[in-house]
Amino acid sequence: MGNTFGTLFRVTTFGESHGPAVGCVIDGCPSMLEISVEEIQYELDRRRPGQSSIVTQRKEGDRVEILSGVLDGVTLGTPIAMLVRNEDSRSKDYDELRDKFRPSHADYTYQEKYGIRAWSGGGRSSARETIGRVAAGAVAKKLLTTKFGVETIAWVDSVGDLIAQVDSETVSTSDVESNIVRCPDQSMASEMLTLIEAVRKEGDSIGGVVGCVARGVPTGWGVPVFDKLEADLAKALMSLPASKGFEIGSGFSGTRMRGSAHNDPFRADENKEVSTSSNNSGGIQGGISNGMPITMRVAFKPVATVMHEQETVTVDHENTTIRGRGRHDPCVLPRAVPMVEAMVALVLANHALRQSVYITNS
């Protein structure tokens, strides 16, 4: 219940933060797709802990094992199972959480819903669950690039009040990976780094926004009415830990425009290829891609664990206090970048296959 995403390209994730392992099963990936362990590992390395001074220092290699569905670097068309073993969980850091709920975490709500919870490390509510998403996203990204010519690129767009200037039409992965903040605006990345480090030293946390673009998406992907492409993207990205807002195209800023300024005029070139002279729609109209780049933004709250004493309640609903312990990200954004790319790729891979079926049956 709630652990599987997609229709034709389906992904199920499994495992808890402090359990033996986490991972995923992909069902519906076409056969004969070349994919290597190294390609999947590259994406996992981008989200793993301990990769820089501004992320959690939990020491995990996050080495992926492909258990099924791939032979000699080629997909078989059968379920692809991938596993990553947990190596550095420190459950003793969470002993206090047997009896107390952390503010703004899922501790209280999981306990109320299930009557039990994986109190050590947060269980399924931990961002460690996203390992399965990123591993599956690596396969989806390879499918999109090789079969459809589509690429997805995400970046840190803002941290707190610091806002980057990024051109979604030209931004590249190398631009994003040029610094540990994963902000392609180099001067702003330096300011963001200073801010995150200051927040970390204060024992606090800070949020921001991740931007993302999908380029090369052809017209026709997406299904009205309830499976609109932007609706599936919103669900995918809002399912990520700590996500609190989603925008497509002009987003909320479009509410301050007149329709005459917000509309995206169509035009055709000498080859009768249609495009728009602006992209306030964010590449999607009526829930269906229009051939323009799909642009979106995702807001992430400050990480809930802070090293300050806060009010809370016990499992017996008695008032008490709690102070954060353990190893936590002061800002989730740098590690959220590959997570956003993965979820966008999973949505697009699913709709690419749905469109292929539609065309075949037409």
Q: Domain with 270 in it: what CATH number?
A: 3.60.150.10
- Give 3-state DSSP helix, strand, coil % of the chain, rounded to 5: 35, 25, 40
- Residue 41's pLDDT band, with cuts at 50, 70 and 90, is very high
343-to-160, 231, 239, 333 alpha-carbon distances in Å? 24, 13, 9, 15
Quote the CA–CA distance of 292 and 169 in Å, as a whole number. 10
pLDDT single digits (tens) 147-187: 999 999 999 999 999 999 999 999 999 999 999 999 999 99
Q: Domain residues for 232?
A: 4-361
Query: What is the three-class DSSP state of 289?
Result: strand
Q: Where are the alpha helices (DSSP H) in the chain?
A: 37-47, 107-114, 130-143, 173-176, 186-201, 229-238, 259-262, 333-361
pLDDT single digits (tens) 190-203: 999 999 999 999 99
DSSP for 111-172, please give it. HHHHS---TTTTGGGSGGGHHHHHHHHHHHHHHIIIII--EEEEEEEEETTEE----TTT--
pLDDT at 122 over 90: no
How many other CB atoms are there within 10 angstroms of residue 77's CB atom?
Answer: 13
Phi, psi of 150 (to 5 degrees): -110, 135
pLDDT at 92 over 80: no
pTM of the model: 0.96
CB distance 11 to 51 below 8 Å: no
pLDDT single digits (tens) 289-323: 999 999 999 999 999 989 899 999 999 999 999 98
Enclosing H/E stretch for 26 = strand 21-27
Helix/strand/coil (H/E/C) assignment for every residue in 251-267: HHHHHHCCHHHHCCCEE
Total structural domains in the chain? Answer: 1
Mean pLDDT of 325-351: 93
pLDDT at 54 over 90: no
